[in-house]
Amino acid sequence: MYVHIGAGKILSDKDIIGIFDLDGKRFSDITGSFLKNAEKNGKVESAGEDLPRSFVLCEDGKVVFTHISSNAVFSRIMNSEKNLI
């Protein structure tokens, strides 16, 4: 199934490794280093122009920032799977 993560950006749920929150918490130095390396390697995309609330890590190493909360993205994945049953 495909998941809308904001601003017309759609990802296959099979490509998603993790959904990480950026809202209200400072992330660790390791996460910051990972995101800097991803940006340096051209692996960062943005789903929209709004301030990101979370990011999605894809199987190919791509990082997609989204203004949608990690809980909302997760709920969209779970709801798409329920519709298959």
* Predicted pLDDT at 68: 95
What whole-number percentage of the chain has pLDDT above 70?
Answer: 89
Q: What is the rounded CA–CA span in Å between residue 62 and residue 75?
A: 21
Higher pLDDT: 59 or 29? It is: 59
The structure tokens listed for 66 are 């989204």
20-24, 69-73, 81-85: which range is least confident on average? Answer: 81-85
- Residue 83, φ and ψ in degrees, nearest 5: -70, -15
Total domains in the fold of the chain: 1
DSSP 38-52: HHHTT-EEEESSSPP
Q: What average pLDDT score do residues 70-82 get?
A: 87
Domain, as residue range, for 67: 2-82
Q: What is the rounded CA–CA span in Å between residue 84 and residue 82?
A: 5
What is the per-residue pLDDT across 22-45, written as a single tens digit (0 to 9) for each?
A: 865 677 888 889 999 999 999 999
